[in-house]
Amino acid sequence: MAYRKFIFSILFLASNSWAQVRYIDYPSPFHSTIGNSGMVVSQNQASSNIGIKILNMGGNAIDAAVAVGFSLAITLPRAGNLGGGGFMLIYLSDEQRTIAVDFRSSAPNNLSEKDFLFLKNNYDQRRYGYKASAVPGTVAGILEAHKRYGNLPLKQILQPVISQAKQGIYVSYDLNQAIGSAEQLILDSESKNIYYKNKVPLKEHMLVKRSDLAWTLNEIAKDGREAFYSGSISEKIVKAMQQNNGYITAKDLNNYQPRFSQPIQTSYRDHTVLAHPPPAGGAAVLLEGLNIIENFETNKMGPNSASFVHLFAEALQRGHMDRSRFMGDPAFYNVPIEKIISKQRAESHAKDINLNLVTKSESINPESLFNEGENTTHYSIIDNDGNVVSNTYTLGYSFGSGVTIPGTGILLNNQMNNFAYQYGEPEVIDRSASIGNRFEPGKRPMSTMSPIIVFDKNDSIKLVTGSPGGALIPAAILRVVTGVIDFDLNLGEASMLPRIHKDWPYENLLLERGFSKDTHNLLESFGHEIEESKTMGSTQSILISSKGVEGFADLRRPNAGVAIQND
């Protein structure tokens, strides 16, 4: 009897232990944060937390977007900004309407032919320093969106951000490394004083208080956009420009206006995907890529299989081809966007794809690559009422032009580098000679930024996402969308799929680590020239699922985070 009791006890413990082991196992190592109310996902946890503070005050998604956008200028200064520009999608749940907001930086209006030739012939001057900066649009875009669609007073929204600037942030490993890699910061005395101490980048864990940004935010809280574009901040910007031979004038600032329009869209496997219209060229790549892939059955492919990677790359290559040829500011160039994202064009491209053989770029149209900065940032927000903001904005390069306007803490962009300066030269046929993106005063340069919102077959919000990464942006977003829709992956799994990039006209296929050797071998047998890449992009996403509101902050860049509103 004692022996039987002993055996029973062992079996009980063993079965109980097994049950416990099974209980703590999960289907995937990538876990979404799940809530049932408001959520903010951004590239910095502290900024996400501030967004939730605004929602808890009774603010809506647009109010929270204002706070997060300004907060990222403190916590993520290499990309979060007041001196750059970007694109935003806003979904208003009560109206069931989505609005696109273009606050892309624009070229100053009074540049002469001499100025154009100077920029064309001086690559470093259009990348670094005062001549590199286009007219900033971030403040105008965010504040006008708030004026039209926000709930709370601006002063109330900005108070937590002002406090954050005054109290300071601790330097992260990521910020320390970013400062050390941005050589242009050393070239500007104000930036050097802020981001360097004793001739070395700010050290990790150091507390850095930003009284300069606190002053700027106070002025904006008090006087709104007028402070930045015609008041106290404008005066400092114009003075610095005059002292350093920059191009931006008081008139440029005073005349800047964001543009509000309808998104562009396509259908994809019973879903509707909304993206920002030109000059957001990345949206065209993304939507055209989806249209091409839709012509193929992917349900028997794996997301990391050679067959799907090959199809993905072929679709991307063709999307980037059209971006290179036809994309620009619609106020200056008649962009054929409806034709680019049409099902007919996608079908035509799909017919030319061989599922076992790579398409060489010269058989499409040989062009070379136009250089784009990858240091952009994206954040996604949803509130308890179902209003949504999908926002991507940038300084261009990491820390933009490297210029900080004295006394303000405002880093300026280097978007003057993003025009096609080789337009008109007959021997040049690449993106730098694009008619759509040729340089013109007052024009907004083409961009690959592409915030998106995806709706399901019932016209309900399904997915909100976007990414930094320059030319890598469309591929990063496309990977998440196809992961969720084609392969029914959870948001974490879709976000952490190893990424792929195929531009045009380059033959190399960029792959993140994570693909098997067999996949590499098969892709090479198709004719791909594989190049192992560092991480691509940093998607910040929200998915509405049967579990509730799921958020996932991409693990590719440190310090990103999801914040949820408690029920």
Residues that are catalytic = 376
Give percent helix, percent strand, percent coil of the chain, each to the nearest 5. 40, 20, 40
Could you say which DSSP state residue 433 is in?
G
3-state secondary structure of 57: coil
In terms of phi and psi (left: phi > 0; alpha: psi -120 to 50; beta: otherwise), the region of 396 is left
In whole angstroms, how far apart are CA 34 and each of 27, 540, 552, 564?
15, 14, 9, 8
The residues, ordered by sequence, that sit 6+ positions from 502 with a Cβ below 8 Å of its Cβ are 312, 313, 314, 316, 317, 320, 475, 509, 510
- Phi, psi for 453 (deg, rounded to 5): -135, 130
Q: Are 330 and 336 in contact (CB under 8 A)?
A: no
Q: Are 115 and 100 in contact (CB under 8 A)?
A: no
Q: Are 188 and 129 in contact (CB under 8 A)?
A: yes
Q: Answer whether the bond into residue 108 is a cis peptide, omega within 30°.
A: no
d(CA 9, CA 281): 67
- Phi, psi for 282 (deg, rounded to 5): -60, -30
CA atoms within 13 A on the CB side of 38: 27
3-state secondary structure of 360: coil
The helix/strand count (H/E) of the chain reads as 20, 23
Which residues share a beta bridge with 532?
511
3-state secondary structure of 515: strand
d(CA 201, CA 132): 23
d(CA 370, CA 320): 11
Q: How many degrees, rounded to 5, is the angle at CA 180 between CA 174 and CA 185?
A: 115
